Amino acid sequence: MAFELLPLPYPMNALEPQMSARTLEFHHGKHHKAYVDNANKLVQDTPLANKPLEEVIQATAKDESKQGLFNNVAQIWNHSFFWKSLRPKGGGRPTGDLARAVEESFGSYEKFREAFKTAGATQFGSGWAWLVFDGGKLKVAKTPNAMNPLVHGTTALLTYDVWEHAYYLDYQNRRPDFIDAFIDHLVNWNFAAENLARARAQRTAAE
């Protein structure tokens, strides 16, 4: 079972003007595709061939001899999750149970927004900013390079990419402007709400 480059859930130009079709063509069609191609080559003829993506991530995360494979499989997962974290005409504030969870965990939407933006803006070099469900609460986290919440045992609800290829064609070195555009105009709160409902259900079932 080879890893696959899943299609985007919207047309290439659907996120304009905040994210250009050219950025998506490079980001999805070249960077994400390269991770898929590299991972398939690295996993071929190994005991991890034909294993689910999440299982390969867990099996390689702490094995230095498999760092190359981990970097590529984790980036496949991260990017697939990122595309779902975006939607045309998104952004704004969450509603319903997610909005209540944000207020309970952070004190207010404004405090959450500040923490979420700061996570990405202060991530040195390449990496990711995440909204996660951990211990019954929402938390903001940042991870370097390919690292993700799966490795840390938390549940990802939402993410944005701060590798330069995510924003440089549109924003050059203005990472904070890219983050503002993501939060205010592109966030897919419906996706985050679905992830939260699933995480809570799983937690309840495990208790």
- Token pair of 124, please? 């040195």
Residue 126 lies in a domain: yes
Termini Cα distance of the chain: 34
Same-domain pairing of 114 and 60: no
Give the side-chain half-sphere CA count within 13 A for 7. Answer: 4
Same-domain pairing of 63 and 128: no
Inter-CA distances, 15 with 40, 93, 155, 205, Å: 29, 18, 26, 37
Query: Is pLDDT above 80 for 207?
Result: no
pLDDT level of residue 142 (50, 70, 90 thresholds): very high
Per-residue pLDDT at 205: 86
Q: 111: Cβ–Cβ under 8 A, 6 or more apart, which residues?
A: none
Domain of residue 67: give its range.
21-84
Mean pLDDT computed over 66-86: 98
Same-domain pairing of 128 and 202: yes
Tally of domains within the chain: 2
Same-domain pairing of 68 and 102: no
Same-domain pairing of 120 and 68: no
| Residue the block writes with tokens 């996660």 | 132
SS (H, E, C) 82-101: HHHCECCCCCCCCCHHHHHH
Residue 2 lies in a domain: no
Query: Cβ distance 17 to 61 under 8 Å?
Result: no
pTM of the model: 0.96
Last residue of a domain, one of 84, 105, 130: 84
Per-residue pLDDT at 1: 63
Mean pLDDT computed over 49-68: 94
Same-domain pairing of 177 and 106: yes
Same-domain pairing of 129 and 155: yes
- Give the residue from 171, 148, 172 showing the smallest Cα distance to 160: 148
Query: Is pLDDT above 70 for 85?
Result: yes
CA distance 180 to 186: 9
CA distance 65 to 145: 17
Same-domain pairing of 176 and 122: yes
Residue 48 lies in a domain: yes
pLDDT level of residue 54 (50, 70, 90 thresholds): very high
DSSP 66: G
CATH number at residue 32: 1.10.287.990
Q: CA-based Rg of the chain, rounded to a whole angstrom?
A: 17
pLDDT cut 90: percent of the chain above it: 96
Mean pLDDT computed over 158-175: 98
Instruction: Report pLDDT digits (tens) over 94-136.
Output: 999 999 999 999 999 999 999 999 999 999 999 999 999 999 9
CATH number at residue 103: 3.55.40.20
Mean pLDDT computed over 132-143: 97
